[in-house]
Amino acid sequence: MSSTKAAFVGLGNMGYPMAGHLANADFDVTVYNRTAAKAEAWVKEYAGASAATPAKAAAGCAIVMTCVGNDDDLRSIMLGDDGVIAGAEKSSLIIDHTTASAIAAREIAEAAGDKGVGFLDGPVSGGQEGAEKGQLTVMVGGSEDDFATGEAAMQSFAKAVTHMGPVGSGQLTKMVNQICCASMIQALAEGMNFAIKAGLDAHQVVDVISKGAAQSWQMENRGKTMVDGKFDFGFACDWMRKDLDICLDEARANGAQIPLTALVETFYARVQARDGDRLDNSALYKLLSDA
Amino acid sequence: MTKAAFIGLGVMGYPMAGHLAQNGHDVTVYNRTAAKAEAWVKEYAGEHGGGAADTPAKAAANAGGADIVFSCVGNDDDLRSVVYGDDGILAGMKKGAIYCDHTTASATVAREIGEAAAELGIGFLDGPVSGGQAGAENGALTVMVGGDEKDFDVIKPVADSYGKAVTLMGPVGAGQLTKAVNQICIAGLVQGLSEGLAFADKAGLDANKVVEVISKGAAQSWQMDNRAETMINDEFEFGFAVQWMRKDMGIAMAEARSNGALLPATALVDQLYGEVVAMGGSRWDTSSLIRLLTREA
């Protein structure tokens, strides 16, 4: 049986290892990346092929996966003469793993549909580490048929691939994830800073209270690092802020009230202005500890 | 066997005192409403003793004086009323005994009682608990203790009767401060969870399915694991009441004003809890914050 032809567009921190897992799972992968050097490095590492444009990468493929930065990046690789949709075969399937807006997902699904091409939005969680280990969580929006077609390819880099509903549902699920995270990280930062100001041993406090109702993934994985001032790792503040801005836009449209999320978004803006974009999203702590 | 007194038989104190008796300690109880003390004696009195006294002082002084006195009441004012005065705990305690308070109260009142106890040669520990009524009944509380290590070493094996983790956090007041950190972390987290679930509903998603997926990653929390489903089902007649949460947050914010810690999200959520109270929800579980987002505008 010959392997399925697939393309992967966007070889960033996430896309590079994801495309690697896809190739290791015996897909015949052609990659495209805006900075060609990364595509060359990938081809060298995984013995696939690279193409000069997204359209050329997509040509002849049954499945085209994408993972880029934001809505604008997504439109630029999908639309236009050099875009994925222009090159995609009829009846092929595009799966986008960018964390983007539900609006962009629906818009691109429509443009793909006009050409007889299927579309799934499949934002991921689990971070760079999850991507490298093939342990991502993929939240998928699209039709049942398209999901069935794309599931095996997504499984190559995921521990959980779940169909959440029609196109856009993957993005909306990711938004719920980020809304829950933002307030939780702020609350954790306030708690840890209070512990320090109160003269407590914050590490010991984390050990004690993480056994009960205050427990969270963030407390277990970021409580001690924030107190220790370690922020040069993890999920960058500018990505978190981008994701929260998407949430705020969507909430304005669907009528959901997210007051604390809105407040925390302004704190991320201050972290960006003061300390730059690249710190882990737990750097909310710095606004309190440096005050 | 330790000769002990337990002051305050509310939803927490009643089962906590019961675990002490069941672990073979001789416990004399006091409760403001005497009927509860009588019920407790009926349930737990046995071969090791177990009786009720009609003042905190008498409970502490019973049969030559308790070695350890425990208390668990409502707030700072309740605490002062059972501690001080001729009928109060300190008046009845013998020199060299240890008093351990399990009320969630301010670090300020803890330090104040610590000083008053020290003048009488009595050791004092503040030991607020977490784990709720279920934790008290199952003997699985987390106890966060402030005070001297030598006093802590004496009470720990006894408090283990109802604690699964009894930890010394620092000097007197450190237990209350640790509990404050716990409540600060919970407040913003529960609001975030509320906003996420209400958003999921407005977005037309299956909220239970969303929780199933995102609870495996960075958005996971005890609250998500234990409250998301009941929040989606609009069930709040259980758990930890909003009025108690507000009391605890008031303590945390007062302490923050004096130690300089900024609590912007906590302060906002405290205001939101005020709205829940205005809706008639002072006895609803803390997860009822979501009702502000799901009510008809």
* A104-157 pLDDT, tens digit each: 999 999 999 999 999 999 999 999 999 999 999 999 999 999 999 999 999 999
B146 and B114, same domain (yes or no): yes
> What distance in Å separates the CA atoms of residue B243 and residue B249, rounded to the nearest whole number?
10
Nearest CA distance, A226 vs chain B (angstrom):
14
Out of B174, B263, B268, name the one closest to residue A260 (CB).
Answer: B268
A143 and A264, same domain (yes or no): no
Q: Locate A179 and state its tokens.
A: 């809304």
B151 and B33, same domain (yes or no): yes
**pLDDT tens, residue by residue, B63-122:** 899 999 999 999 999 999 999 999 999 999 999 999 999 999 999 999 999 999 999 999
pLDDT at B47: 75
**Average pLDDT of the segment spanning B140-150:** 98
A134 and A231, same domain (yes or no): no
CB-hemisphere CA count at 13 Å for B31? Answer: 21
Nearest-10 crossing angle of helices B76-83, B107-119:
10
Do A258 and B195 count as a contact with CB atoms less than 8 A apart? yes
pLDDT at A1: 47
Where would I find the H helices in chain B? 13-22, 34-44, 56-61, 76-83, 89-92, 107-119, 132-138, 149-159, 174-202, 207-214, 222-232, 242-259, 264-278, 291-294
Do B259 and A197 count as a contact with CB atoms less than 8 A apart? yes
CB-hemisphere CA count at 13 Å for B107? Answer: 30
B103 and B196, same domain (yes or no): no
Do A216 and B177 count as a contact with CB atoms less than 8 A apart? no
Angle at A13 between CA A9 and CA A18, to 5 degrees: 55
What average pLDDT is seen over chain B? 97
Q: Which of the two residues, A186 and B295, has the higher pLDDT score?
A: A186
Least CA distance to A198: which residue of chain B? B259
> What distance in Å separates the CA atoms of residue B153 and residue B21, rounded to the nearest whole number?
20
> Of A82, A75, A127, whose CA–CA distance to A96 is shortest?
A75
Task: Report residue B156's pLDDT band, with 50, 70 and 90 as the boundaries.
Answer: very high
CATH number for the domain that contains residue B182 = 1.10.1040.10
A222's CB contacts (< 8 A; 6+ apart) are A185, A188, A234, A280, A282
B165 and B186, same domain (yes or no): no
- Domain-terminating residue out of B136, B153, B170: B170
| Inter-chain CB pairs, A–B, below 8 Å | 260
- Domain-terminating residue out of B143, B170, B197: B170
SS (H, E, C) chain A: CCCCEEEEECCCCCHHHHHHHHHHCCCEEEEECCCHHHHHHHHHHHCCEECCCHHHHHCCCCEEEECCCCHHHHHHHHCCCCCHHHHCCCCCEEEECCCCCHHHHHHHHHHHHHCCCEEEECCEECHHHHHHHCCEEEEEECCHHHHHHHHHHHHCCEEEEEEEECCCHHHHHHHHHHHHHHHHHHHHHHHHHHHHHCCCCHHHHHHHHCCCCCCEHHHHHHHHHHHCCCCCCCCEHHHHHHHHHHHHHHHHHHCCCCHHHHHHHHHHHHHHHHHCCCCEHHHHHHHHHCC
- Domain-terminating residue out of A166, A188, A206: A166
Give the range of the structural domain holding residue B78, as residue numbers without chain letter. 3-170
- Domain-terminating residue out of A166, A183, A217: A166
Out of A176, A186, A212, name the one closest to residue B265 (CB).
Answer: A186
**pLDDT tens, residue by residue, B239-281:** 999 999 999 999 999 999 999 999 999 999 999 999 999 999 9
B23 and B163, same domain (yes or no): yes
A247 and A105, same domain (yes or no): no
Burial class, A19, CB count within 10 angstroms (exposed 0-12 / middle 13-18 / buried 19+): buried
B163 and B201, same domain (yes or no): no
> Of A104, A70, A97, whose CA–CA distance to A242 is shortest?
A70
> What distance in Å separates the CA atoms of residue B265 and residue A267, rounded to the nearest whole number?
10
Q: How many domains does chain A have?
A: 2
**pLDDT tens, residue by residue, A69-92:** 999 999 999 999 999 999 999 999
> What distance in Å separates the CA atoms of residue A148 and residue A141, rounded to the nearest whole number?
12
B117 and B220, same domain (yes or no): no
**pLDDT tens, residue by residue, A197-226:** 999 999 999 999 999 999 999 999 999 999
B151 and B241, same domain (yes or no): no
- Domain-terminating residue out of A166, A199, A222: A166
**Average pLDDT of the segment spanning A148-177:** 98
Out of A200, A250, A287, name the one closest to residue B177 (CB).
Answer: A200
B51 and B157, same domain (yes or no): yes
Task: Report residue A291's pLDDT band, with 50, 70 and 90 as the boundaries.
Answer: confident
> What distance in Å separates the CA atoms of residue B211 and residue A173, rounded to the nearest whole number?
9
A44 and A140, same domain (yes or no): yes
Do A180 and B196 count as a contact with CB atoms less than 8 A apart? yes
Give the range of the structural domain holding residue A194, as residue numbers without chain letter. 172-289
Mutate to test the interface with A, among B129, B130, B216, B221 (most CBs of A within 10 A): B221
pLDDT at A2: 65
B83 and B189, same domain (yes or no): no
Task: Report residue B296's pLDDT band, with 50, 70 and 90 as the boundaries.
Answer: confident
B237 and B164, same domain (yes or no): no
- Domain-terminating residue out of B116, B135, B170: B170
**pLDDT tens, residue by residue, B124-134:** 999 999 999 99
Do B189 and A190 count as a contact with CB atoms less than 8 A apart? no
Nearest-10 crossing angle of helices B264-278, B242-259:
150
**pLDDT tens, residue by residue, B39-48:** 999 999 887 7
CATH number for the domain that contains residue A211 = 1.10.1040.10
pLDDT at B248: 97
Q: Which residues of B touch A287 (CB under 8 A)?
A: 262
Least CA distance to B252: which residue of chain A? A194
Q: Locate A205 and state its tokens.
A: 């406090």
B68 and B93, same domain (yes or no): yes
Q: For residue B220, what are the CA distances in angstroms to A81, B127, B266?
A: 42, 28, 20
**pLDDT tens, residue by residue, A238-273:** 999 999 999 999 999 999 999 999 999 999 999 999
Share of chain B above pLDDT 90, in %: 96
Do A187 and B165 count as a contact with CB atoms less than 8 A apart? no
Query: Contact B67/B56 with Cβ under 8 angstroms?
Result: no
CATH number for the domain that contains residue A114 = 3.40.50.720
- Residue of B58, B164, B179, B216 with catalytic role: B179
Out of A180, A197, A215, name the one closest to residue B222 (CB).
Answer: A215
A104 and A134, same domain (yes or no): yes
Q: Locate B190 and state its tokens.
A: 């529960």
Query: Contact A162/B209 with Cβ under 8 angstroms?
Result: yes
Task: Report residue B1's pLDDT band, with 50, 70 and 90 as the boundaries.
Answer: confident
Phi/psi of residue A77, nearest 5 degrees: -90, -20
Q: Which residues of B touch A199 (CB under 8 A)?
A: 170, 174, 177
pLDDT of residue B150 exceeding 60, the answer is yes
Do B181 and A195 count as a contact with CB atoms less than 8 A apart? yes
A141 and A179, same domain (yes or no): no
Distance of CA A64 to the CA centre of its chain: 17
Task: Report residue B297's pLDDT band, with 50, 70 and 90 as the boundaries.
Answer: low
Q: Locate B186 and state its tokens.
A: 């919970």
Least CA distance to A188: which residue of chain B? B185
Do A186 and B221 count as a contact with CB atoms less than 8 A apart? no
pLDDT at A158: 98
> What distance in Å separates the CA atoms of residue A217 and residue A235, rounded to the nearest whole number?
14
A235 and A106, same domain (yes or no): no
DSSP one-letter code for B101: E
A35 and A150, same domain (yes or no): yes
Q: How many domains does chain B have?
A: 2
Query: Contact B17/B59 with Cβ under 8 angstroms?
Result: no
